[in-house]
Copies of this chain bind each other. A is one copy, B any other.
């Protein structure tokens, strides 16, 4: 997306100083910015980079205006340069919305599917029978929306996502590429030496304002619903088992795995690569450390780490002990020697 500095100012506010017709193709940090890019200065630490930045224009707080003007570069002067730059970032990030409103000629949309007003269905996307896509929602190229699935309004489904039959996605949700919502839960009943598949006929509900990263898997419930609560944010390559329920506003970092039927509360943080066993509860505002293995329920507000996960304070204590183990062995050896001496004298 190319915008002039004047157009940027019209969108995000601030005062243009210098040539407002300079064309901007993107944004970058003051050291990384190249020609055609807009950068910003809001922190005195970075003022020294002002003279040498290759940026085409700079968003500055009023206090740096004089210094910045000396460099002759076009400026966008704002009360709060950082906040204004954040708005500029949002403006340029809309460069991603390259799906035209309406249904692309190569998309396959069932007659019984319902496409909302202002929605955009990209090239080679597939929307099956009885599926619903809400107003202003963007379905990117290569996405599959299964039979009877419902996607809310103002939602973005990135390229090559799969949403299986009957799953429900709320409003203002973002689902990144490669993610699979509603694959079968991992349910088998052993019959002798054969593992017989248990049909998985529940669904997945992703509530409003959730964001799900790339190549995530959220399995459908065996019966009932696997649920991601409102405002929860999920990073890439996360595994959510069948019938898991995650509360509101939780943070699930990359490569976490949550086994079937576990309940994760509100505003919980699960750090990267941690694993949560099945059929347990992680209470509200609990925090699970990176790579931890949680094998039993965690009370609300508790911080746990390690494998198997313990209270974080205990984990730290055990770790400190572990680090002193070599010296402990020496101390015991020493004691044994001294005791032998005493016994001999005895």
List the interface of chain A (C-beta within 8 A of B): 26-29, 32, 86, 89-90, 92-93, 95-96, 98, 104, 106, 108, 122-124, 126, 128-129, 140-142, 144, 146-148, 158-160, 162, 164-166, 174, 176-180, 183-184, 186, 188, 193-195, 197-202, 211, 213-217, 219, 223-225, 231, 233, 235-237, 239, 241, 249, 251, 253-255, 257, 259, 267, 272-273, 275, 277, 290-291, 293, 295, 306-308, 317-319, 321-326, 328-329, 331-332, 335-336, 338-339, 342-343, 345-346
Contact = CB atoms under 8 A, between A and B. Distances in A.
A236 B126 contact: no
A86 B197 CA distance: 11
Chain A, interface SS category: loop
Contacts of A188: 233, 251
Contacts of A162: 142, 158-160, 177-178, 214
A268 to B, nearest CB: 12
B166 A95 contact: yes
A217 B217 contact: no
Per assembly, the copies of the chain total 3
Scoring A166, A183, A277 by chain B CB atoms within 10 A of each residue's CB, the highest score goes to A183
Scoring A176, A179, A224, A326 by chain B CB atoms within 10 A of each residue's CB, the highest score goes to A176
Contact of A180 (B86, B177, B193, B332): B177
Nearest to A259: B272
A321 B332 contact: no
Given A28-B223, A28-B224, A291 B267 contact: no
A93 B28 contact: no
A332 B213 CA distance: 50
Nearest to A95: B165
